[in-house]
Structure 1
Amino acid sequence: MITLEDLRFVEALSRTGSLSAAARSLNVTPPALSMRLKRLEQALGVGLVVRSSRSMRFTSEGEHLVAEAQAVLGRIEALPEELVAAGRRLSGRLRVVAPFGFGRIHVAPLIARFAAQHPAVRVTLDLSERPWRETEDADVVIHIGEVKDSSWIAHLLARNSRWVCASPEHVRRHGAPAQPRDLLHHACLCVRENDEDVTLWRFRKAGRSGEGRAAEDRAAAPSRQDAIRVSPVLTSNDGEVVRNWALAGLGYVLRSQWDVAPLVRRGALQRVLTAWEFGAADVLALVPARRGISARVTQFVAFLEAGFRPRPPWR
């Protein structure tokens, strides 16, 4: 069997032209190299070198071995540079799981841009109303709201609040609640998602203007949190359906800011109870908390983070 050291020896012997010079190059003694040559020829069953008192030349078999040694050693020498280049040139499979509505509107366009920049990456986007159910083989999960599974590392993509909204017509017809507990006497609409207790609406009095406050500010100045248990007149596992019910004037809905803020700006929905916060529902990119996260996953998450900064599209 030819070893890597044998190949280095043959290459040095060809490059230097003598056993003594090759020995100096490899920092060993000439007798040691002479013994290595003898053992190598015996192992291969062929002569590699013809020596005389004044010269040394390779046999045809020896020349063939020299050529192969140079090729193999050249490939080994170039390998680190090739690996670095391959790391910059992303490739491979990337599976992303995201909620239906948010995935369609905000994640899919970013994936299209990422794929255009990295054509060797094969991206699969799976949309689900309950992304947690689809995480078994996922590289990145887009999640909105609280994370209860510590086996995932969370990367904040964007701040996102929950707003209570209804159509302006519904507010005119039934009146606007003055405080959260008034919702117990109004028609409410609920979305089942992420296995949350969707009829329990948590709230607290907002501080400052509240809208863009950082998590650190919330932690530094916590306020007492209360909750009400609404009895919804309509419930669905599809957020778009529930939003359309609200647009149709069927009741009040508690929805993520990313979903309803554009409709509030256009006047299609009216936000109420602005003096209260109904819990953060930050947008997160989750990756498995395991070693060996690939470069494509790391760069994709960084790409998502950049895509939602400095302000997410719904702000």
Structure 2
Amino acid sequence: MIRIEDLELFEALNRTGSLTAAARALDLTPSALSMRLKRLEGELKVSLVVRNARNLRFTAEGEHLVVEAKATLERLRALPEALGSEGRALAGPLKIVAPFGFGRLHIAPLIAEFSMSNPGLRIGLELAENPWAQNQDADVVIHIGNIRDTSWIGHSIARNERWICASPKYLKTYGEPSNPAELLQHRCLCLRENDEDVTLWHFRPRSNAKGRGGRREAIRVATSLTSNDGEVIRNWAVNGLGVMLRSEWDVAPLVRSGTLKRLLSDWDFDSADIVALTPARKGISARVAQFLDFIKLRFASTKPW
């Protein structure tokens, strides 16, 4: 039988990365923690952790237990506040960090609406070039793209594809690529964000009628211009300076208006879904849970772009 202390053990191992540090965090001796881990592996009849002199790594079963431990402990820690807040108005601080462009255009209006319905909340919105790098003490981080930090729990908000786009002016001068390989002959505009390899563009043929897509491939494009600001990249593309790979949320209105043209629509480029991240080290408070439910509902009804 898995006990709460077993879940706390795996949460600590994942957070600290070593038996010694996890034992210190749980106020145990390393030998006591090691014995508890061996007991759990014996009861489950699986190996959960591979240990050596320098570090440890989780087996597939151990990774699964880490995920379940974080989710279960999160629910347990949030339960007292959730029970105590039944029938009470929300109150207290709520800090949200979001990307500049998306946060300004789509998150700020939702926060204003949420605040009007919950006047007891003290909500702070911080817009950042890289929200993950400025997430100290954040209750919610709005993130676009892959999640690589296991100390945060992702809550899906909306699907968001990446589209290849260029202006009619650019296409009149340079022509339109008919397949991804031809992008190597074009002037490419690249956005530097989230420590991604921004010149490596991944793609696969779009799924056919039977639901089968092609093999995932990648090309290394040559950059004409780069910036860490998505609005700058978008404006360069509108002004005919090159081809860009950009989030659907940012360019869909410009494609509809004809200002930009979507290219290579028969290929899927890696999506950059929009997620709300909450710290695994904290339980989800009633104010965070209700804010997450609120924005999920708003984006579920219709994507504003």
Fold-level match, TM-score > 0.5? yes
Aligned-partner SS, 2:132: helix
Equivalents in 2 of 1:264, 1:222: separation in Å?
A: 25
Tell me the amino acid that sits aligned with residue 102 of structure 1. Answer: F
1:134 matched residue in structure 2: 134
Residue 201 of structure 1 aligns with which residue? 201
Deviation, structure 1 residue 85: 5.4
Map Cα deviations across residues 55-88 of structure 1 (whole Å, 9 max, x no partner): xxxxxxxxxxxxxxxxxxxxxxxxx9xx845763
Counterpart position of 1:245: 236
Q: Is the 8 A contact 2:204 2:268 kept in 1?
A: yes
Q: How far does residue 169 in structure 1 lie from its aligned partner after superposition? A: 1.2
What is the CA–CA distance in structure 1 between the aligned matches of 2:115 and 2:99, rounded to whole Å?
Answer: 20
1:222 Cα deviation (Å)?
A: 5.7
Q: How does 1:205-244 map to 2 (within 5 A)?
A: 205-208=205-208, 221=212, 223-244=214-235
Rounded Cα–Cα distance in structure 1 between residues aligned with 2:259 and 2:88: 46
Equivalent of residue 281 in structure 2, options 280, 286, 290: 290
Paired amino acid for 2:264: L
Q: Is the 8 A contact 1:87 1:295 kept in 2?
A: no
In structure 2, distance between residues paired with 1:240 and 1:247: 10
Q: CA deviation at 1:249?
A: 0.2
- Structure 1 gap ranges (5+): 1-79, 211-216
Aligned equivalent of 1:16: none
Q: How does the TM-score come out when normalised to structure 1?
A: 0.68
Q: Distance in 1 between matches of 2:177 and 2:168?
A: 13
Counterpart-to-counterpart distance in 1, 2:266 and 2:236:
24
One-letter code aligned to 1:120: G
Which residue in 1 is equivalent to 2:36?
none
- The equivalent of 1:123 in structure 2 is 123
Letter in 1 for 2:256: R
Q: Matches of 1:100 and 1:88 in 2, distance apart?
A: 33
Measured in 1, the distance between the counterparts of 2:277 and 2:88 equals: 23
Asked whether the equivalents of residues 165 and 263 of structure 2 are also in contact (C-alpha less than 8 Å), the reply is yes
Q: 1:276 aligns with which of 264, 267, 281?
A: 267
Structure 2's unaligned 5+ residue stretches are 1-79
Corresponding position of 1:188: 188
What letter matches 2:304 in structure 1? P
Q: Secondary structure at the match of 1:105?
A: helix
Alpha-carbon displacement from aligned partner over 1:83-104 (angstroms, at most 9, x marks no partner): 8457631011111000000000
CA distance in 1, matches of 2:190, 2:219: 13
Shift of 1:209: 7.9
TM value normalised by structure 2: 0.70
The Cα of 1:231 is off from its aligned counterpart by 1.3
**Separation (CA, whole Å) in 2 of partners of 1:115 and 1:280:** 31
Query: What SS is found at the alignment partner of 1:280?
Result: coil
Q: What does 1:19-168 correspond to in 2, within 5 Å?
A: 84=84, 88-168=88-168
SS of match in other structure, 2:291: helix
Aligned pair count?
Answer: 224
Letter in 1 for 2:136: E
The SS at the match of 1:249 is coil
Match of residue 41 from structure 1: none
Cα gap change, 1:123 to 1:87, in 2 (>3 Å): farther
CA contact (8 A) 1:152 1:286 kept: yes
1:299 to 2:290 alignment: yes
Q: Is the 8 A contact 1:164 1:253 kept in 2?
A: yes
| Alpha-carbon offset, residue 208 of structure 1 | 3.8
One-letter code of the match for 1:270?
K
* SS across alignment from 1:119: coil
C-alpha displacement of 1:224: 1.4
User: 1:302: Cα distance to partner?
Assistant: 0.6
Does 2:299 match 1:308? yes
